[in-house]
Amino acid sequence: MLRIVCGLIVCKSGQFSSIMSKKFIRQFGENVRKARGDMGISQEELAHRADLHRTQISLIERGQRTPRLDTIERLAKALEIQPYQLIPPI
């Protein structure tokens, strides 16, 4: 039996598996990279503007970290765009 709780699939065994696909997360990172490139700023500059660590920007852009909502908001503000512009269609 599976239940969906707060965007996670809860399995019988108690283990959690994110319902966000790797493709979705990878595309989000590509959208961040493109928006950053369009502004002509480095990962370090984006991190400074968003009050994040440069390593976190790198992990997001490579699709190795799923950002929280507050991080998406910070990135959008720093990139001077709306959050929906970073989120890929499903």
**According to DSSP H, which parts of the chain are helical?**
22-39, 43-50, 54-61, 69-79
pLDDT at site 21: 87
Please give the residue that has the higher pLDDT: either 86 or 3: 86
pLDDT at site 90: 84
Coil, helix or strand at residue 38:
helix
Whether 3 shows a pLDDT value over 50: the answer reads no
Domain ranges within the chain, ordered by starting residue: 21-85
Q: Please, are residues 47 and 56 in contact by the beta-carbon 8 Å criterion?
A: yes
Pick the CATH number of 21-85 from 1.20.1440.130, 3.40.50.2000, 3.60.15.10, 1.10.260.40: 1.10.260.40
Whether 77 shows a pLDDT value over 80: the answer reads yes
**Model confidence pLDDT, tens digit, residues 16-74:** 445 568 999 999 999 999 999 999 999 999 999 999 999 999 999 999 999 999 999 99
pLDDT at site 20: 60
What pairs with residue 4 in β-bridges? Answer: 9
Whether 9 shows a pLDDT value over 70: the answer reads no
